[in-house]
Amino acid sequence: MGVTYLLVHARLHHITDTTIASMDSHLQLDDMLATERCSHFSVLLLTDGFSWAMSMTQDLAHLHAPWGVALFEVKTSEQNASMTYEQLSQTIATARQLGDALWCVTMVVVSDDPAFLAAIAESSFKSHLLLVQKTKLLVFTRIPLLQLQTLPHLHRTLSRTTSLVAVVDDTLPVSRTKVFSWLPFTDPESLPLQVASWTIDQRLTFTHPPDLFPQKFLRFPHRPHVLVTAEEFVAQVAFTVDDPTAPEGKRLTFGGPAGNITEMLSTIMNFTYTYVRSPDKTWGLLQSDGTWTGILGLITREEVEFTPGPFYIDITRSQWIDFSPFVFMGSYRILAARGRPEVDPWGFLLPLRPKVWVAVLTALLAVCVVMLLLSFCLPTDMHEPRMADTNTFNCVRVLLQEGN
């Protein structure tokens, strides 16, 4: 693929031109993208300010991203917010299609407008653009951190995805940028984790090990409680166990692969869980209105966090949910009923070739001759009138496996 940069210019009438050159924003972007470990990643760049967009992209050709450039422009207006959101949703949908065609994507959002950031967070989350692990989000903004925490949908998007926010403070003599990561399953009021900072003198420095996007989903520090869904099949059975802490003193659990996988993940990732079954108790089908039933419906509606499956991977499902690596490999066969056995009395002739028949007849003749010669060694009183015929018949009978 040759498409990597998605540039969206959204001009807001209340945004005035400011001096951005001192921020060296293109250097910040390049330093942060340089930490990307994927050798063939792509960048989707969205912004709402023309001046800042020009500063960010003035050295677009030198940015640390290996593949091509795609430019999109969305004109926004305060007079028609619904049209702005609709245009933004269409752009996010295009970015989603672009992201599906690429291997690993970093989406960069540059905005000083709270409403624009909230709309980006909501539309990108609804379109499932950021739900796959290969897609990362990097937000550049000059909005203070405390104000960011009050924006709707932003905390949900940042905490549940591989996301960072770079808060730029250009009120100081030397511009400084702090990079924050929102931990999963935290309260919207809780402060995020600062992972790095940037200045023109020191460039990018890390407060944690040198990984700009920390692996925040490996183990949760606060042991959250999550909802999990599963369904029954041949190797997986649902049953209830006594639990004084559960409603009515009973707790739903699953035996088989689902129970083992969920229990193992809860120990490794440090969380507690409760099973929830779908109302129709099915695995899930895509309806004509774009909604899902069963387990997949619970996941797409965000009523549960995950399911241990097992699920087949197909294109339709991958557009709505994110699959983990393979847990196990199954070997399947196509079965059909066998036909009734038919006895062919001459079937013994089928595997025998002419050379075999010559050898069999030669052996038969040799046995008959030997038995005939041995009969002459018997006493005279034991001779029978038709002994030679009888011996020959017995040899043929044995060959044909006939009884007496």
Please report the DSSP string for 280-327 in residue order. Answer: T-S---B-TTS-B-HHHHHHHTTSSSB--------HHHHTTS-PPSPS
Cα 383 to Cα 371, 379, 380: the distances in Å are 13, 7, 6
Single pTM value for the model = 0.66
Domain(s) labelled CATH 3.40.190.10 in the chain stretch across: 225-318
- If one compares 143 and 37, the residue with the highest pLDDT of the two is 143
Neighbouring-strand partners of residue 44: 6, 107
| pLDDT given at position 384 | 63
Residue 9 has pLDDT above 70, yes or no: no
- pLDDT above 70 coverage of the chain, percent: 71
Domain(s) labelled CATH 3.40.50.2300 in the chain stretch across: 5-206
One CATH from 3.40.50.720, 3.20.20.70, 3.30.450.40, 3.40.190.10 for 225-318 = 3.40.190.10
Residue 271 has pLDDT above 90, yes or no: yes
User: How long, in residues, is the chain?
Assistant: 404
> Band of the pLDDT at 221, cuts 50, 70, 90?
confident
Average pLDDT over residues 313-334: 79
**Most confidently modeled range among 57-71, 136-150, 377-391:** 136-150
Average pLDDT over residues 142-158: 86
| pLDDT given at position 55 | 58
> Band of the pLDDT at 5, cuts 50, 70, 90?
very low
Encode pLDDT of 184-211 as tens digits: 888 888 889 888 888 887 788 888 666 6
| pLDDT given at position 16 | 34
Average pLDDT over residues 272-300: 91
- If one compares 393 and 281, the residue with the highest pLDDT of the two is 281
Average pLDDT over residues 90-111: 71
Q: Do 104 and 40 form a contact (C-beta atoms < 8 A)?
A: yes
What CATH topology corresponds to 5-206?
Rossmann fold (3.40.50)
Average pLDDT over residues 377-396: 68
The stretches of 34-112 forming alpha helices (DSSP H) are: 50-57, 81-101
| Gap between the Cα atoms of 144 and 300, Å rounded | 32
| pLDDT given at position 137 | 84
> Band of the pLDDT at 247, cuts 50, 70, 90?
confident
